[in-house]
Amino acid sequence: MLTPESAGGTRPTGMPMITLEKAQQILLEQVSVGETITLKLRKAGQYRLAEAVYCDVDYPPFARSVMDGYAVKASDVAHVPVRLRVAGQVPAGLDSQLVLQSGEAIQINTGAPIPAGADAVVRVEITTLHSDGREVEIGESVPVGKFITERATYAHAGDLVIEAGAVLTPMNMAVAATAGAGEVRVYRKPSVAYLVTGDELVDVDAQPSGAQIRNSNEYLLASLLEAARVDAKSLGVVGDDPAELRKRMESGCAYDVLITTGGISMGAFDYVPRILEELGAELLVHKIAIKPGRPTIFARLPSGTLVFALPGNPMSALVGYELLVRPALSLMQGGDGQPMRLIQAVCEGELSAIRDRQTFIPAVVRVNSEGLWTVGLLSWFGSGDAVGAANANALIHRPAHAEAVKHGDKVSVMLLMHSMDV
């Protein structure tokens, strides 16, 4: 019989299995924040800010109307109905020199500056024009200040409006634009190379024959890394050939991060751990008490490249990515590296008790008619079953030694933000 040693395959690295918490602590210690760059705001969407954004003007820069209607003196409309003389019109964008006198109203649009002399706005809906538009009847009284946003209500010039470390979300892009931040200092996206290994793999366009299967992990990783908006490069597929694998993994040294899938278990042809050692990598984690994903490796090459060697089964690779790779990519870009943001959801199925490894189960979260999160189970046959995990947008998290779950019990759920059908 071929043994791992006789086949020249892996040998145990001698590292003990550790808890997920310990692995994540090692990650926090090892991963440091990357370089910063300056980008035009237009190009900076979804980057993380390395420097806070300050507003360069008062916002709004002038007192403005919240409504379409008439600028008035509140004292003139204290008793209604009342007719006022229409003294002019101020559309948005016009720096009008009009001064409102007592007994007058000035037509005004949303966003237009409040004319001098006015102290309130009445909505057009409670007014009626008379005398060919020369007079307006006001139907309701308004207090001083009604429908006026005073200058600098939202921010004063010099105010901090977005903190360093925040992601330039769509709304933060709007805030940065408001603040005059035409250029922003952000964390550079890490460069990430990835490769998949296995003699059995054929590409999507090929018809698998005999002992072959299609290579799904390359597409999984490409898509995860696209959602992570990093600078990703596929190093392709490598067979279970140590020389070729070594060459390809060596080319990964030019990147900030190298991700591999497959070839890390105890099989005769699982060469990845041995090659990492040959390349002088410092093995930081090998084997975590999680299911799936136990053999996951985290290492550092002499080039400084962080290596995540994930198991070959698609769901194991996804779990390893979510628990280690995604947090690392976040830390490198100034994020907090928080691996699991768990929500509580009502389980619409039964789950058996858990043994000694924290367990992650693909599932579908929904919001029910009462607005509560529910989580539905899939017909899934384990970590090799990519088909059963179709439409999963979450992972149910079951702690080690957790008791069985009954229909209607609450469970902890990790949302897969990249898989939300929105």
Give the binding site for ligand AMP (CB under 6 A): 196, 198, 200-201, 213, 215-218, 261-265, 267, 270, 311-314, 384
Compute the least distance from the CB of residue 303 to ligand AMP, in Å. Answer: 24
Compute the least distance from the CB of residue 272 to Mg ion, in Å. Answer: 9
**Which entry of Mg ion, ligand AMP, none binds 384, CB below 5 to 8 A by partner kind?**
ligand AMP
Compute the least distance from the CB of residue 262 to Mg ion, in Å. Answer: 4
Nearer to Mg ion, 105 or 315 (CB): 315
Nearer to ligand AMP, 266 or 404 (CB): 266
Nearer to Mg ion, 36 or 216 (CB): 216
DSSP states along 237-302 = EE-S-HHHHHHHHHHGGGSSEEEEES--SSSTT--HHHHHHHTT-EEEEE-BSEES-TT-EEEE-T
Backbone angles phi, psi at 250, to 5 degrees: -60, -35
Nearer to Mg ion, 198 or 334 (CB): 198
**Which entry of Mg ion, ligand AMP, none binds 313, CB below 5 to 8 A by partner kind?**
ligand AMP
Distance in angstroms (rounded) separating the CA atoms of residues 177 and 387: 44
**Which entry of Mg ion, ligand AMP, none binds 196, CB below 5 to 8 A by partner kind?**
ligand AMP
Nearer to ligand AMP, 272 or 328 (CB): 272
**Which entry of ligand AMP, Mg ion, none binds 327, CB below 5 to 8 A by partner kind?**
none
Distance in angstroms (rounded) separating the CA atoms of residues 308 and 26: 13
Residue type, 52: A
Our measurement of the distance from residue 170's CA atom to the centroid of its chain's CA atoms, rounded to an integer in Å, reads: 12
Distance in angstroms (rounded) separating the CA atoms of residues 385 and 216: 11
Distance in angstroms (rounded) separating the CA atoms of residues 333 and 346: 34
Element (H, E) at 347: strand 342-347
Compute the least distance from the CB of residue 192 to ligand AMP, in Å. Answer: 17
Nearest residue to the partner ligand AMP, using Cβ: 312
Locate 242 and state its tokens.
């140590």
**Which entry of ligand AMP, Mg ion, none binds 213, CB below 5 to 8 A by partner kind?**
ligand AMP
198 interacts with Mg ion by CB under 5 A = yes
Compute the least distance from the CB of residue 263 to Mg ion, in Å. Answer: 5
SS3 annotation, 11-39: CCCCCCCECHHHHHHHHHHHCCCCCEEEE
- Which residue in the set 9, 69, 262, 334 belongs to the binding site for Mg ion (CB under 5 A)? 262
Q: Which residues bind Mg ion (CB under 5 A)?
A: 198, 262-263
